[in-house]
Amino acid sequence: QQQVKQSPQSLIVQKGGISIINCAYENTAFDYFPWYQQFPGKGPALLIAIRPDVSEKKEGRFTISFNKSAKQFSLHIMDSQPGDSATYFCAASSGTYKYIFGTGTRLKVLA
């Protein structure tokens, strides 16, 4: 019940395309859902986060869609660029700093 399932494991997208990464959770106590981006040799960096009281949040080319009834949330990267090539992690927490992370998606954007 504490797991966050993330898919796909890897993703290849053409430059300018849309990248979509999905996550699903079971624990309805989760109330904070962040996405992190990690480049090789670096720690994860917070991209965007959402609370369950909204269904969508957009920041620049990054959008989180949240479906509370289905217990799913997804990251959409519009107009994907080669510089977006990185590993993306979704996470969930229930009011503490004990985050449960998804297993990660390795995104490669082709030039």
Partner 1 sequence: KAGVTQTPRYLIKTRGQQVTLSCSPISGHRSVSWYQQTPGQGLQFLFEYFSETQRNKGNFPGRFSGRQFSNSRSEMNVSTLELGDSALYLCASSGQGKGYGYTFGSGTRLTVV
Binders in 31-70 for partner 1, by CB under 8 A:
32, 34, 36, 41-46, 49
Q: Which stretch binds partner 1 (CB under 8 A): 8-16, 17-25, 66-74, 88-96?
A: 88-96
CB-nearer residue toward partner 1: 81 or 103: 103
CA-based angle 26:104:94, to the nearest 5?
35
Q: Which stretch binds partner 1 (CB under 8 A): 21-29, 57-65, 66-74, 86-94?
A: 86-94
Q: How many residues at the interface with partner 1, by CB under 8 A?
A: 24
Is 62 within 8 Å of 47 (Cβ atoms)?
yes
Q: Which stretch binds partner 1 (CB under 8 A): 8-16, 59-67, 77-85, 101-109?
A: 101-109
Asked whether position 23 contacts partner 1 by CB under 8 A, the answer is no
**Least separation in angstroms between CB 107 and partner 1:** 16
